[in-house]
Structure 1
Amino acid sequence: MDFKSILRTILKIFLPLFFGGLLLWFLYREMDVSEIWRVIKEGVRYDIIGISLLFGLAANIVRGFRWGLLISSLGERFKMSNVIYAVLGNYAVNLVLPRVGEVWRCGMITKYDKISFTKLLGTLLIDRVSDTIMVGLITLCIFIFNINFFTSFFAKNPALLEGFQSMFNSIWIYVAAIIFLAGIWFVFTYMSNFTLVQKAKAMLHNVWEGMKSIWLMEHKVRFLIETFLIWGGYFCYFYITFYAFDFTRNLGISVGLIAFTMSSIGVAVPVQGGIGPWHFMVIATLVCFGVNESDAAAFALVVHTVQTIWTGICGLFGVVALPLTNRELKTATAV
């Protein structure tokens, strides 16, 4: 590995972590650290948080089964355990390199089950789009039935709304999008004889074959049920932690759903484990519902830290289990 590759890897790891840590420092810099520490030491039912962790693990296992449905629609044979371990390991990799875990899990299934990597990318796109649609639908429902919350949220955080407005008001975004699309059209229309372009076309064709899996699968109803189970599990993973703190215990399930939705939006930011954006979304949401800022900060710090450690442990198990279980299979075959 040359110096440039090492530098790129270091930047991919530490640049997102730096910005996440900077946001975290900005959030906590003026808070009462002694009060936050008091809540962490004396005001948390860690046994309840421990129960919540089981729902997060269950949701990720169901995610493995759902991805298996998409892969099976390609007509490929594979070990379901490999898919589940790859999904678990995906999250451990993302804790080091944001968004790289998705590519890693496709690579693991290609390695151990000999399935086309580009076809797996197609199924992965469907997997992620399904989640984006779910978050979008949940956010839309929350917005429709809790318009007062969003009015209050953006009133207390005007910089967010101004950022969105300035982004979409800038003509350069639209100019860049047009140039980008025109460039792709030109390359694929007038440079189709180039070997690199032909390879790109073949890759896109395989990705499309993988994306078609949603229409080809036999168990579409099961796919929908598992999608709801995944997000139901994630909600329980988050909401049960409300009962571990005196100041969130009585807020109710509707507030839990709003806070969960806002935290899910925070996780979408490409930072390891959503560190920083997740805390901001959760703290700002809880404050809107009358929770003291120091208490909200303690809640975010405890829940995110415990759940991140849990995700890392489960992910490392998946990473280690993949080569071990497949080595055992190879040994048995050789004998």
Structure 2
Amino acid sequence: MINNIKSIFKNLSGVIIGAVFLFLTLHEKPLGPVWESLAGADYFFIFLSFLCLFLVFYLRALRWKLLIEEAGETPKSDKVFTSLLLGYFVNSFTPKLGEIIRCTSLQKNSKVPVAVSMGSVMAERAYDLLILGLGILCIFFIELERLQGIIDSTIGGISHIYGYRYIYVLPIFLILFVILFLVSLKRLKKSEKPIIKKVVGFLQSMFESLKQGLLLKKRFKFILLTLLIWMTLVILNYIYLLCLPETSEYSIFFAVVILFIGGLGWALPSPGGIGTTHFFLLQLFLAYQLDANAGISFGILSNGLTFIGTLVLGGYGYFRYWVEMKRA
């Protein structure tokens, strides 16, 4: 019951965050030019973006499989791909619940323990957050004067939801939570209750999988796959730019900036990055003194195509998963 309430609260808070940022993005903006811009989108590049998105998911599946293998499991590539598509499909509607879905579905179709796959997902996220953080730092270092306003706008946007004081309290709260969690886990290890032993065993397996994922043996293959994923994401954002007449002449460097600054929006707990990515992309266009309507159009187009593509591929993943379960 408590877990259900927490899940509902988490999903609801994600929707509220997305709605607030979407309101801040579209408030008092004329939407007529935006719809005209979207109507003139190039269908060839829209189709190309779907192929590119498929490649991103496939590369992510290969990398996830590699991390699972580091923990001693050997699932088939097609089953890992199916579970990953299911996870991203669910993430389109709920903030990060898809990570649980892809791990539980992989347990059903490949007998990979949830604790192991969850640890590998945590390792995957840790590496991606590292690259995202390094990319953001590099871009802000290069373009500090232009992008300083985004920091102020972001803090202002979040303060509409939580208030300024909570922004500064959050890091302290997270540190205290980690300390209390580690102390509690140490005490729980001494318990003789069966249910406590199960929980502790699950957590130990998960953290062992996380450790194996962070202490990579196949480093070269993992680094290669990671570089390919992020390069493909740059190309995907460049294709999105090519879709619209107003943004088709922007450089591929701007696509790199979009990837990392827009990534801030995807990192926030909003379903499918709706609202948060639109907000960051608009601030980015304004920082570069580009047309605000073009920024809104690009945000709607890029987020919309990613959302639709994820739904289509997720539906395909669900069909494959259903067929696999029928055959089992």
TM-score of Structure 1 vs Structure 2, range by shorter chain: 0.7 to 0.9
Q: Specify the alignment match of 1:203 in structure 2.
A: 202
Cα deviation, residue 185, structure 1:
1.5
Please say if 1:238 is aligned against 2:272: no
One of 119, 130, 134 as aligned partner of 1:122: 119
Other-structure match for 2:286: 287
- The 5 A counterparts of 1:27-106 are 27-42=25-40, 44-106=41-103
The alignment's C-alpha RMSD in Å is: 2.9
Give per-residue Cα distances to partners, 1:127-166, cap 9 Å, x unaligned.
1111111111211221222222222434666726989985
Letter in 1 for 2:129: T
Give CA-to-partner distance per residue, 1:60-98, whole Å, 9 cap, x none. Answer: 101101111111223323221110111111111111222
Distance (whole Å) between structure 1 residues aligned to residue 125 and residue 313 of structure 2: 20
Q: CA deviation at 1:191?
A: 7.4
Residue matched to 2:252: 253
Alignment of 1:1-335 (within 5 A): 11-42=9-40, 44-154=41-151, 159=156, 166-167=165-166, 169-170=168-169, 174=172, 177-178=175-176, 181-182=179-180, 184-185=182-183, 188-189=186-187, 192-195=190-193, 196-214=195-213, 218-328=217-327, 330=328
What's the CA shift for 1:14?
4.6
Counterpart-to-counterpart distance in 2, 1:267 and 1:215: 23
Task: Give TM-score, length-normalised by structure 1.
Answer: 0.86
Q: Which amino acid aligns with 2:60?
A: R
- Paired with 2:66 and 2:177, the residues of 1 have a C-alpha distance of 38
Measure how far apart 1:272 and its partner are. Answer: 0.9
Flag the 1:279–1:189 CA change in 2: closer, same or farther, 3 A: same
- Superposed CA offset, 1:236-287 (max 9, x none): 1112111222322223122221122111110011111110000001111012
> Could you tell me which amino acid in structure 2 is paired with residue 277 of structure 1?
T
CA distance in 2, matches of 1:38, 1:230: 33
CA, structure 1 residues 179+79, in 2 after alignment: closer, same or farther (shift >3 Å)? Answer: closer
Q: What are structure 2's unaligned runs of at least 5 residues? A: none
Deviation for aligned residue 1:30: 0.7
Q: CA deviation at 1:230?
A: 0.9
Name the CA distance, whole Å, in 2 between partners of 1:50 and 1:130: 30
Structure 1, unaligned runs of 5 or more: 331-335
Q: Secondary structure at the match of 1:96?
A: coil
Question: Which residue of structure 2 aligns with residue 333 of structure 1?
Answer: none
Are the structure 2 counterparts of residues 247 and 322 from structure 1 closer, same or farther at C-alpha, using a change threshold of 3 Å?
A: same
Whose Rg is larger? 1
Change (3 A) 1:187 1:45: closer
**Pairwise CA distance, 1:310:** 1.0
